[in-house]
Structure 1
Amino acid sequence: MEWIIKTMQNSPELAIFLTLALGFAVGKIKIKGFSLGSVTGVLLMGVLIGQLGITISPTVKSTFFLIFLFAVGYSVGPQFVQGLKKEGLPQIAFAALVCVSCLLIGWVAALIAGFDIGNAAGLLAGASTISAVIGVASDTINQLSIDSSQKQQMINQIPVAYAVTYIFGTAGTAWFLAFIGPKLLGKDVIKQTKDYEQSLGGLIQDDEPGLEEAYDGTTFRVIQASNAFFDQSRTVHEVEDFLIKKGWPIYIEKIRVSSNNKIINDPTPDTSINKGDKLVLNGPIDTMLADEDCIGKEVVDLKLLDFKVENLKVIVANKEIIGESLQNLKFSKQRHGVVILKIHRGKVTLPLLKNVKIQRGDIIEIEGRKGDVDKFASYVGYPERPSNITDILYVGIGIFLGGILGSISFRAGNVPLSLSASGGVLIMGIIFGWARSLRPTFGNIPAPSVWLMNNLGLNMFIAVVGINAGPDFISGLKTSGVSLFIAGIFVSLVPMLIGILLGRYVFKFNPAITLGACAGARTTTAALGALEDTLQSKVPALSYTTTYAVGNTLLIIWGVVIVLMMS
C-alpha cells in the first residue's frame, strides 16, 4: 500500500483516474431509488484520495473544464437562440427571473449565515445543482486583489459547500416540483395537463388520423387489390387519398402487376393499379388489419418485400418547416412513405402531438424505404448519419476564441470585471452550437463525443478539485456543515416556489408548462423525469428545453457574479 501511495504521489495522473473509477462506482449506488450521481461520487472520492497528500497542477482541471463548458454551450446553443424569438420570450423571461432568484436568495442566505466567498459560491453551486459554478467561481476568486493563501482557502471551501448542499438540491427539488408543485397550482392538475395535450392534438378521436406514436416503427404488408373499389383502374394517388380520408396514414411502396408479373419499384402518383395487382403498403399495422377488405386480402410475396429500410436522424434546417406544426409536416407531400418516430430537442424527446412546433436544430428521427427517407431528409435539412469523427478544428477554435473573449476585463474600483475564460468559452460554445444548426455541413460533434466532453470534462475537473481540496475538506465540513445544509434547503426550494407562483399568476402558463419550466431553469433533469411520471405526460418537456438553455447559461455565469457580490 505504501508503494501504491508513493507511486500516485509521483504520478498524480494515476490518482485522477482512480478517483474517476471509484467516483462513478459510488455514484451508481442506489438507495431507495436515489443515487449520488457521478459528479458527487467523484468529488467525495477525490477528497478521500486527496488525504494522501497528492498535488495536481491546476492547468489540468482548467483544460478539462473548458472542454466541458464548450460542450454545454454547443448542446444548448440552438435552443437558446431559438428562445429569443417572439414565441419563446415568455419562457426566456420566466427562466431569467427564476435564475435571478437563485442568485439573490443564495447571496442573502450566505450573508445571513456569515459565509465567506467560497462557501457562498459552493452553496449556489450545490443548491442549484450547477457543478460548473465551482470552476467559474474559482477563476473569479483568483482575479481578486487579496492574499494568495486567502484565495486558496476560499477556493477549497467551494467543493465542501457543494457536497453538503448538492444532495438535497437534486432530490429535494425533484420531490418538491413533482409532489408539492402540483398542489400549489390548483385542482386537477393531471386533468389540466390532459386538456392541454388535447389542445395540442394529443387526444386522438375515432375519426382522426393517428400520430406516429400510435405504432412502433414501419410496417410493410402485401395486399392484393381485390375490393370492388378496383372494379375500375385507379391511380396510386387515388388509392392513397382514399386511405388518408379514412384516417389511414398508409403509402404504396411497390406494385406487382398481375397482367405481366412485372414489379414496379418506385410507383409515381399517376401509376395505374388494376384489380389483382399486389401492393406493398407502408403504415401502422393496426389500421392495416382493422379493415383489410377495404383494399383486399393480405398475401405472401417475399420477393416483393425484398428492399432496404433505413432509420435516420435529420437536423432541421429548412426555413419552410421551421415553426410548422407536426401535423402539417406529417401531411407534407415530401414525407411520402416516411414514419416520424421521435423528435429530439436538446436533451429531451418531445411528445408527438399534432400542434407541437418544429424548431431549427431539432433532430427528427425517421424511418422508411431508403429512397423515401433520403428524399424527406433533404427536404427537412441535413441527415445526421452515424459518424465517429469529431471536428476538432471547430472545437479547438471555439475554445480558443472563447478564452480570448473571457480574458477581456475592466475594473470597477478594485474589483476586476470579466467573464473569465470559462464564461467566454461557454458563450462561444452557444454561438458555435447555433452556427452548426444553421449550416450542419461543418462543425460536427457526434452525440457520443458531446457526452464524453460533458462527462469526462466535468468529472476530470471535479476529481482534481476534490484531490487538491482534500486536506482542508474535513475541517471545512466540521466548521460549516450544518449551517450549509440548512441554507441549501432554503436556496433550493424558495426559487422553485417563486417560479411556481410566477408561472401561475404572472405568466399564466399551464401547470405542466410551469413545472417543466421550473425544472429547466434549474437544470434538474431528475425533476423533469419525476414530473413526467407524476403528471403521466411528456408535456413538461415542451417548456424544459428553452428554459434549460437559459438556466444552464445564467447559472454558470452567476459563478462570477456571486463572487463579485460577496467581495
Structure 2
Amino acid sequence: MFEWFTATLQKYPEIALFLSLAIGYFVGKFTYKGLGLGAVTSTLLAAVVIGQLGIVISPNVKSVFFLMFLFAVGYGVGPQFVRGIASDGLPQAAFAVVVCIYCLAVPVIIAMLAGYDVGSAAGLYAGTQTISASMGLATDAINRLGMPADQTATTLNAMPIAYAVTYIFGTAGSAVILALIGPRLLGIDLAAACKDYETRHSAAAELGGAGSAWHRFELRAYRIKPDGPVVGLTASQAEALVPNARVFIERFRRNGTIQEATAETTLQAGDIVALVGPRDVLVDVLGREAEEINDPELLNVPAEGVDVYVTSKELDGKQLSEIAKLPLARGIFLRKIVRGATAAVIPILPNTTIHRGDILTLVGRSKDIAAATTNIGYADRATDVADVAFIGAAITLGALIGSLVLNIAGVPLTLSTAGGALIAGLVFGWLRSVHPTFGRIPSSTVWFMNSVGLNIFIAVVGISAGPGFVAGLKELGISLFLWGVLATTIPLILAMYTGRYLFKFDPAILFGACAGARTTTAALGMITDSAKSQVPALGYTVTYAIGNTLLTIWGMVIVMLVA
C-alpha cells in the first residue's frame, strides 16, 4: 500500500501539493493562547515530510502562484502605502523604514558571524522576521548568481530549512516581546496608557452590533406635547437641543399620515416623530420628558448598514468631529472603521482622522445612506464576482516591467517578475481606492490569492527541499535556532526604543507601530489583548504597509549583500 501511495504521488505530483495544503491548513488552525504554527509553517513542514518521497514538481507552478500572491499583497496595502509616504503619515512611515533596516541589518550580520551561506541567510531572515514572501524574491536572486546548478540547488534547499527552524520563535517570540516584555522594559503600563489615550480623546466603549441583542443606536416614536419645547422648531433645530449626542428625526405622523422628515421640517403639537439616536439618550433623556408611542408603521423605516469605501478628497485627512457637522452626516451613524490590508479596526474617536482607502460601516435610513455614499465614496457591497480581466492585465504589466534588466557598470539590476507584480499591486490597489469603478476583487478572492497563493509556493519549496532537509537540520538545528532568537529579538528591542525616544510615539500606539513595521499580526492581537483596547491598532496600518513592502524586497537585497 505504501509503495503504491509513493508511486502515485511521484507520478501525480499535484496530489502531493494538495495533500500538503490539506495538512498545513488543518494543523495550522490549532493555537494555544493565541499562538500557533500557522498555515505557512505547517504547510512547509508537511511538504518537507512529503518531499522525502522524492517528488518532482515543476518550478513554474510556484512562480505562477507567487506572482498571484505578491499582486494580492500589493493590491491590499496600496492605498495605505501611498498615504504612508505622504506628509500626514511621514513619522510612522519613516519609523517603519528604520525598523525595516534593523530587520535586514541584524540577520545579515548574524549570518556573516555564523558563516552561513546565502540560502541559509535568506531563510534565517525570512523566518526571524516572519516574512515568508521574501523567499520568492530571494529565490529569484539566487538563481541569478550564476552558480553551478548543483550549488544553486543546495543553496535553495538550505533556505526553507533555516526558515522552518527560525519561524516559530519569530512568530511567538515577537508577540511575547512586544506585548509582555516591551512594556516592562520601557516602564509602560499598556492598559493604563490606552485608557488615558481614550480619555484624552473622549473615547467610548463600542458595544453591540451584529450578533448582539443590544444595539448602540435605536429608533423610537414620541408624541410632541402641546407645550413641548420643540413645537414650531425645524427638525434640525429640535435635534440641536441635545448638543452632546447625535439624534435625528427620520419621519413623522401628522393627522394620521406618515411623512418623511427633512432638516427643514417644522414640528407641530400632536406630531408623532420617529427619532433615532444613541439608546442611552433616547431612554434616559427623552424618555423622562416625552411620551413614547408604540407605532410599528411609523417605525418601519427602510434602513440599512453598508460598507462605504472612502474616495473623497474633501474628507481625506478630516477628523470625525469635523465630518459630523457636515450636511452629509445627518441621519448617519458610524458603526466601524476598517483600515489597511489586515482590516485593522480603528477606534471611533472625535479626533480620529479619515483617509481615502478606509472602509466605513454606516447605518441609517436608506435614503440618507445613499446620499452620504455619493459624497463619501463608493458603496462596497458584497459580491462574488472578481474583475479577472483586471487581475490578469495588471499582473502581466507588472511582470513585463519587472522582467526588464538594466545594466549599470556591468551589474544587472532588475525588479524580477515577482517584484514587478508587487509594484503593480501597489499601484493598481491605490488607483482602485481613488477610482473604485474598476478592479473589484472580493475579499474572499484576495484572501485566496494571498493565503493559498503563498502556501502553494511554500509547498513546492518544501517538497523540492524535502530530501536534503533532515541532513541540514541535524547540521544547523540548535545553533541556527539560537541565532534566530537573536535575529528576532534585537530588531524589536531597537524598534521599541527608537519609537519611544527618537520618534516620541504615544505609548498607546508605540507597540502597534512596532508590530506593523515587522508585519506581525499575531503580535498585534496579543498587544490589543494585553492593552484591553483597540487603540494600538492606530499605529499598525501605515507601518504595516511600508514594512510589508520593504521586508519582502529585502529578500532580494539580503542575497546581494551576503553573496
Q: Same fold (TM over 0.5)?
A: yes
Is 1:8 the counterpart of 2:9? The answer is yes
**Structure 2 counterpart of 1:148, which letter?**
A
CA contact (8 A) 1:94 1:503 kept: yes
Q: Give the residue type in structure 2 aligned to 1:477.
A: L
What is the CA distance between 1:355 and its match in structure 2? Answer: 0.5
CA deviations 1:94-117 (Å, max 9, x no partner) are 111110111110000001111000
Task: Quickly say closer, same or farther: Cα 1:43–1:491, change in 2 above 3 A.
Answer: same
Pair 187,391 (structure 1): closer, same or farther in 2 beyond 3 Å: closer
Question: How many equivalent pairs are there?
Answer: 557
Distance 2:525 2:470 in 1: 34
8 Å CA contact retained: 1:254, 1:280: yes
Aligned position for 1:363: 359
Q: 1:289 aligns with which of 283, 290, 293?
A: 283
For residue 564 of structure 1, what is the amino acid of its counterpart? M
Write the distance in 2 (CA, Å) between the matches of 1:152 and 1:135: 15
Q: CA separation in 1, counterparts of 2:170 and 2:135?
A: 15
Asked if 2 retains the 8 angstrom alpha-carbon contact of 1:160 and 1:476, the reply is yes
1:313 aligns with one of 307, 310, 332 = 307
In structure 2, relative to structure 1, the CA distance for the partners of 1:71 and 1:78 (3 Å cut) is same
Structure 1 contact 145–415 (Cα < 8 Å) conserved: no
* SS of 1:356 mapped into structure 2: coil
Worse-matched range after superposition: 386-395 or 76-85:
386-395
Q: Distance in 2 between matches of 1:555 and 1:364?
A: 29
AA aligned opposite 1:328: E
1:252 — aligned with what?
249
The C-alpha deviation readout for 1:256-306, integer Å capped at 9, x for no partner, is 01xx21110x21222222222111111111210002346512111111122
Of 449, 454, 467, 2:445 maps to 449
2:262 maps to 268
Q: Is 2:235 aligned against 1:236?
A: yes
| Equivalent position of 1:376 in the other structure | 372
Q: C-alpha displacement at 1:329, in angstroms?
A: 1.8
Kindly provide the CA deviation profile for residues 509-565 of structure 1, in whole angstroms up to 9, marking residues without a partner as x: 112222111100100011111111222222211110000001100000001100011
- Residues 494-522 of structure 1: CA distance to partner in whole angstroms, max 9, x if unpaired? 11111111112211111222211110010
Flag the 1:313–1:232 CA change in 2: closer, same or farther, 3 A.
closer
Structure 1 letter corresponding to 2:18 = F
Partner of 1:288: helix, strand, or coil?
A: helix
Change beyond 3 A, Cα 1:110–1:254: same
Q: 2:274 aligns with which of 265, 275, 280?
A: 280
State the alpha-carbon separation in 2 of the partners of residues 104 and 161 from structure 1: 17
CA distance in 2, matches of 1:182, 1:280: 49
Provide, for residues 373-414 of structure 1, a one-character-per-residue CA deviation record: whole Å limited to 9, x for no partner. 111111111111111111112111211121122212235677
Structure 2 equivalent of residue 438 of structure 1: 434
The answer to whether the aligner puts 1:51 opposite 2:47 as a matched pair is no
Q: Which moved more, 1:89-98 or 1:505-514?
A: 505-514
Shift of 1:344: 0.6
- Distance in 2, matches of 1:120 and 1:178, equals 27
Cα distance change of structure 1 residues 5 and 469 upon mapping to structure 2, 3 Å threshold: same
Match of 2:240, SS state, is: helix
Deviation at 1:336, TM superposition (A): 1.6
Please give the TM-score of this superposition, normalised by the length of structure 1: 0.95
Work out the CA distance in 1 between the residues paired with 2:554 and 2:230: 73
Q: What TM-score, normalized by structure 2, do the two folds share? A: 0.95
Aligned to 1:221: 220
Which letter maps to 1:220? L
Where does residue 207 of structure 1 map in the other structure? none
Percent identity between matched residues is 47
Are 2:297 and 1:303 equivalent residues in the alignment?
Answer: yes
Between the aligned partners of 1:188 and 1:307, the Cα distance in structure 2 is: 46
Q: Return the alpha-carbon distance in structure 2 between the equivalents of residues 285 and 231 of structure 1.
A: 20
2:502 maps to a residue whose letter is V
Q: Is the 8 A contact 2:216 2:279 kept in 1?
A: no
Deviates more, 1:505-514 or 1:232-241: 232-241
Q: Quick check: 1:24 aligned with 2:25?
A: yes
- The code of the aligned residue for 1:273 comes to L
Q: Is the 8 A contact 2:35 2:522 kept in 1?
A: no
Within the alignment, does 1:487 sit opposite 2:486 as a pair? no
RMSD: 2.0
Question: In the alignment, which residue of structure 2 is the partner of 1:498?
Answer: 494
Render the CA deviation track for 1:8-47: whole Å, top value 9, x for unaligned: 2211111111110111111122345431100011001111
Q: Secondary structure at the match of 1:281?
A: strand
- Give the Cα–Cα distance (whole angstroms) in 2 for the partners of residues 563 and 372 of structure 1: 55
Match of 1:155 in 2: 156
**For residues 459 and 231 of structure 1, what CA distance do their matches in structure 2 show?**
63
CA deviation vs aligned residue, 1:227-274 (integer Å, no higher than 9, x gap): 73258433212211112x2x23111111001xx21110x212222222
SS in 2 for 1:416: strand
Q: Which amino acid aligns with 1:11?
A: Y
Q: 1:455 to 1:467 in 2, by over 3 A?
A: same
Alignment of 1:73-92 (within 5 A): 73-92=74-93
In structure 2, how many angstroms separate the alpha carbons of the residues matched to 1:137 and 1:187?
Answer: 38
User: Structure 1's 211 and 464: CA in aligned 2 closer, same or farther, altered over 3 A?
Assistant: closer
Task: Say if 2:207 and 2:216, in contact at 8 Å, map to a contact too.
Answer: no
The one-letter code of the counterpart of 1:546 is: V
Distance 1:33 1:364, change over 3 A: closer
- Greater shift after overlay, 519-528 or 327-336? 327-336
Q: Secondary structure at the residue paired with 1:523?
A: coil
Q: Distance in 1 between matches of 2:226 and 2:507?
A: 50
CA distance in 1: counterparts of 2:424 and 2:222, whole angstroms? 55
Gaps of 5+ in 1: 205-209
Contact 2:100/2:551, CA 8 A, preserved across alignment: yes
Secondary structure of residue in 1 paired with 2:386: coil
Change (3 A) 1:292 1:5: same
Where in structure 2 are there 5+ consecutive unaligned residues? none
State the 1:316 CA deviation: 0.7
Name the structure 1 match of 2:416: 420
CA distance 1:340–1:519, shift in 2 (3 Å): same
Report the Cα distance in structure 1 between the residues aligned to 2:353 and 2:146, rounded to whole angstroms: 50
Q: 2:330 & 2:226 partners in 1: Cα distance? A: 24
User: Is 1:396–2:392 an aligned residue pair?
Assistant: yes
Identify which range, 508-517 or 217-226, moves more after superposition.
217-226
Q: Determine the C-alpha separation between the residues in 2 that align with 1:325 and 1:128.
A: 34
Query: How far did residue 183 of structure 1 move?
Result: 1.7
Matched, 1:340 2:334: yes
Aligned residue identity for 2:108: W
1:142 aligned onto 2:143: yes
Distance 1:187 1:35 in 2: 27
Query: In structure 2, how many angstroms separate the alpha carbons of the residues matched to 1:491 and 1:221?
Result: 59
Give the match's secondary structure for 1:322.
Answer: coil
